[in-house]
Amino acid sequence: MIPTTDLNQRPPRSAKARLGGYALLPRMLDKCRAELNGTASSFHYACPNDQRVLKFMGIDPVALKAEVAKGLGDGDVLAWIEAHQSNKLTQAEIEVWSDANDKRKPDGGDREFFEKYLAECGPNRTDIIYWSDLLDLDDYVSYGGKA
């Protein structure tokens, strides 16, 4: 049985949450489980942000979804990832990548989208400069919080 993840009721875990040292991974697993349960709301598994960690790990999103569909918990999914990833990574490499992801700023290609997204969920929030913080803010506001 797939653990219940209802993204109609609460947001997925923060992009900064870690599993095995990987940023984005717990959030992506929440979205995957919600899709499998039909409770993803407006969230999408294997979205461009998820693709960042999938590519870094060297994991196929379809194969990962099939494993998650078996009802595995986070620890078992992580063990599967470590056994099947094409990019064998050290903990130091994972930590550097995850820390950089937490502090990833919009670049020229996505600056306009970032600013529009921020204007929608926190128009007065000049402190938001990283994608991970913007995702957290959007999740908070989308579930009833005030920016």
Residue in this structure with the two tokens 């970032």, named with its chain if needed: 114
CA distance 93 to 90: 5
Structure tokens given for 71:
């009802």
Domain edges within the chain: 1-102, 105-147
Write out pLDDT tens, residues 35-68: 999 999 999 999 999 999 999 999 999 999 999 9
SS3 44: coil
Structure tokens given for 45:
């598994």
Write out pLDDT tens, residues 74-106: 999 999 999 999 988 999 999 999 999 999 999
Total residues found in the chain within this entry: 147
- Concatenate the DSSP letters of all residues of 16-67 into one string: T-EETTEESHHHHHHHHHHHHHT--TT--TT-HHHHHHHHHHT--HHHHHHH
Name the DSSP class of 125: -
pLDDT of residue 3: 61
